Amino acid sequence: MASNNKRPLPEGERFFTPGATGLRKAVEQRSAVPLTYLSTQLPRWVPPVVLVVLLLAGFAVANPLGGVAALVVLAFVGWLAYLSWPSLRPGAKLLRVAMTTFLVLLVATRFGAF
């Protein structure tokens, strides 16, 4: 027999944004699978190391290949910023915008936009 002794999450620690509709709800639900895979199937050190290697490649390689590497980092950082946005304070939001802007400029320079 399966008993239902699941502990409820503490208030304010929900995985999904309460009352989310539309695009946010879809993104959060679709993101649950990759997030679960990253946090359970891979060693904890793999995702950050891969992101650092890709970012360093984006800095070091001054051609479109470096842009592709930095674009992967931009996509990941943008995804995390979007998911965490509702719970952030203004200073943290500013930091996310600055980081995303920096990565967009890095990708643009690697693809020859500047």
Judge whether 75 and 99 are in contact, CB under 8 Å.
no
Nearest to 74 by CA among 30, 104, 109: 104
Domain of 27, in residue numbers:
22-110
pLDDT in tens, 53-79: 999 999 999 999 999 999 999 999 998
Kindly report the pTM of this predicted structure. 0.76
Assigned domain for 4 exists: no
69 in a structural domain = yes
> Helices (H), strands (E): how many in the chain?
4, 0
The predicted pLDDT at position 52 comes to 97
Distance between CA atoms of residues 31 and 49, nearest Å? 20
| 43 belongs to a structural domain | yes
Structural domain total, the chain: 1
| 19-35 average pLDDT score | 76
| Residue 28 forms part of a structural domain | yes
Are the C-beta atoms of residues 76 and 33 closer than 8 Å to each other?
no
